[in-house]
Amino acid sequence: MSKQLKSPGLWISLVIVAAFGLWPVLAGNKAYARETTFTILKAVALASSLNILLGYTGYVSFGHIVFFGLGGYVGFYLMRQYNAHLALAVLAGGLSAALLAFLLGKAILRLRGAYFALATIGVNEAVRAFIKNFDPLGGPIGMTLNFQVYKAYGGPDRALWIAYIATALLTLVIVLVSFLVKTSRFGLGLMAIRENEDAAEVMGVVAPNAKTWAYVLSALFPGMIGVLFFFKNGNIEPGDAFVLHQSIEAIVMVMLGGQGTVLGPIVGAAAYQRLRGLLLVSPLFKNIQLAVAGVLLLVIVLFVPAGVIGWLRGRFPRLRRVLE
């Protein structure tokens, strides 16, 4: 493990994320910088988590946002009904998302490639319909946090900063976890499954277990980030929590940066969010943002399937130690 920790690739990734995280602390317009960076960090966390399933194991999940939404709902519910502390709520949100992944995984992970992808499309719709009808969780209107809750954390402004710092720390953790998975035997097993599941099983990888763990791990962090996001928001509703659109964006970010690498999702998330920011203010492109993302994904899939980092690693083998 200590040898792994000496890898320059890991430190470059961590430093980049830390730099993003520190920017609002040092910037002028703190609130604006904080909100922008929060979006980027959330994207990095989501993309890195999805990468464990998509990049390392080779299983496309079109409905990954469901873990973000469910985690958010559980954490929010605990804070609202039982006045739970944020840390507890975050943990509960993450664990419930992981539990959902575990149960879902039991059902759908034995489906190969394409069928699994289709099942994940259905999951998002199904969970959203379920939450909409499930009244204890607010039904279609969702739930709102009593503003008094923020008092416990020293007022709304401090609460926002606490949520932000927690998110930044979580993002650092997920990047570290992503690296550790990649360089471990577990990760090797996952990548073997990606290349040829049957051959991997013959070589001794217990595929169902490995896949389940990968799925659970990829759900844990989005669940936690979900709680933080909706804590900041002050309210949650099915329309906001299960935006299929965001699952798609996560896929684009992973593919753009480079699936199966640690640095890839970070680069992809940052680049995509920047692009999105530019598109949203341009009057011409504002409405066709999804179409532009689609064109981007198509070009990547057709011509540069390894993404930016993947392409760089292929083109410049010397950089492989650095660009994990």
DSSP state letter for 216: H
Per-residue x/- marks for other proteins, 92-111, CB under 8 A?
---------------xx-xx
Neighbours of 140 (CB within 10 A): 11
- Closest to 120 measured CA to CA, from 39, 59, 208: 59
Examine residue 239 and tell whether it contacts other proteins (CB under 8 A).
Answer: no
Stretch near other proteins under the rule CB under 8 A, chosen from 143-151, 153-161, 219-227, 290-298: 290-298
Crossing angle between the packed helical segments 244-257 and 307-315, to the nearest 10 degrees: 10
Examine residue 114 and tell whether it contacts other proteins (CB under 8 A).
Answer: yes
Examine residue 298 and tell whether it contacts other proteins (CB under 8 A).
Answer: yes
Residues numbered 305 to 324 that lie near other proteins (CB under 8 A) are 305
Examine residue 301 and tell whether it contacts other proteins (CB under 8 A).
Answer: yes
Nearer to other proteins, 206 or 290 (CB): 290
Q: How many residues at the interface with other proteins, by CB under 8 A?
A: 41
Among 157, 290, 320, 321, binds other proteins (CB under 8 A): 290
Examine residue 192 and tell whether it contacts other proteins (CB under 8 A).
Answer: no
- What is the identity of the amino acid at 302? L
Tokens representing residue 19 in the block: 């730099």
Nearer to other proteins, 106 or 158 (CB): 106
Examine residue 115 and tell whether it contacts other proteins (CB under 8 A).
Answer: yes
CB 97 within 8 A of CB 226: yes
Q: Least distance from C-beta 129 to other proteins, angstroms?
A: 4
CB 268 within 8 A of CB 47: yes
Q: Least distance from C-beta 174 to other proteins, angstroms?
A: 22
Q: Which residue has the tokens 């009057």?
A: 283
Q: Is 302 exposed, middle or buried (0-12, 13-18, 19+ CB in 10 A)?
A: exposed
Residues 6+ apart with CB under 8 A from 36: 24, 277
Nearer to other proteins, 113 or 154 (CB): 113
Q: What angle do CA 161, 165, 167 make, to 5 degrees?
A: 115
Nearer to other proteins, 129 or 203 (CB): 129
CA distances from 170 to 40, 45, 241, 253 (A): 13, 8, 20, 19
Q: Least distance from C-beta 291 to other proteins, angstroms?
A: 3
Examine residue 14 and tell whether it contacts other proteins (CB under 8 A).
Answer: no
Nearer to other proteins, 44 or 127 (CB): 127
Examine residue 294 and tell whether it contacts other proteins (CB under 8 A).
Answer: yes
Among 119, 166, 225, 308, binds other proteins (CB under 8 A): 119
Nearer to other proteins, 57 or 96 (CB): 57
| Cα four-point dihedral sign 305, 306, 307, 308 | negative
Residues numbered 120 to 139 that lie near other proteins (CB under 8 A) are 121-123, 125-126, 128-130, 132-133
Which parts of this chain interact with other proteins (CB under 8 A)? 58, 60, 62, 107-108, 110-111, 113-115, 117-119, 121-123, 125-126, 128-130, 132-133, 248, 251, 255, 287-298, 301-302, 305
